[in-house]
Structure formats: C-alpha cells, structure tokens
Amino acid sequence: MKADKIILGVLGGVAVGALLGVLFAPEKGDKTRKKIMDKSNDYADELKDKLDTLLGSITQKYEKIWKEGESLVSEGKSKFYDAKNEGEALLAEGKSKFYDAKNEIKNTNI
C-alpha cells in the first residue's frame, strides 16, 4: 500500500510540475516543452530507480520467507519422522511385552 502512495505521489508531482512549468514559463514554447520533457524524463528515471529498489527489496524478503518456510517444512518433517520412529519402536516394544506376557500366562500351569 505504501508503494502505491509513493507512485501516485510521484506521478502527481510530475503532472503538477509540468502544468506549472507551462503556465509560468518565461521562455518560448520550444524551450519550455524541452525543459518539461527533460524534467519528465528525470522524474521517470527517478521513479524507475525507486521501483527497482522496491522490487529488489520485495524480492529479497520473498526469498528470505521462502527459505525460512523450506527450513520449517524440513524441520517439521524431521520431527515427524523422529516421532514416527519413536512410536513404532514403542509399539514394537509393547507388542513384544504383550507376547511375552501371553506366553508366560500360557505356560503357567494353573
């Protein structure tokens, strides 16, 4: 949202500046138009530089967030598989104890 306001402000400034330049120009039309064109080009270049900077900043933030997301997913997968393996080990241990108890009961003469 802030970038939109900057762009609109710059474009509005260019338009107002061009209008005021034409209205209050003490020079001939050709020279005035050339000055307006030069100023417009200067403002356009400045706006392009700001947009490039903004785009670079957004790209860097996006890449940083993407890498952090990948890291979190990787960490989550690792924790999931660790928990799964631990659960499987506990299940195997429980089954083993169950069968041992079952066999002990079977072998007991009551």
CB 25 within 8 A of CB 32: yes
Does 65 score more than 70 pLDDT?
A: yes
Q: Rounded to 5 degrees, what are φ and ψ at 96?
A: -60, -45
Res. 25 pLDDT band, cuts 50 70 90:
low
When pLDDT is averaged across residues 95-100 and rounded to a whole number, the result is 88
**34 vs 51, more confident:** 51
Q: Which two tokens stand for residue 11?
A: 């474009």
Q: DSSP H helical segments within 1-110, as ranges? A: 2-23, 29-107
In the chain, the largest separation of any two C-alpha atoms, in whole Å, equals 121
Report which of 77, 17, 73 is spatially closest to residue 44, judged by C-alpha positions. 17
Q: What is the mean pLDDT of the chain?
A: 84
Does 96 score more than 80 pLDDT?
A: yes
Does 42 score more than 60 pLDDT?
A: yes
Report which of 33, 30, 31, 38 is spatially closest to residue 19, judged by C-alpha positions. 33
Q: How many domains would you assign to the chain?
A: 1
**15 vs 22, more confident:** 15
Give the pLDDT confidence score for residue 81 in this predicted structure: 95
Does 1 score more than 90 pLDDT?
A: no
Domain range for 62: 1-106
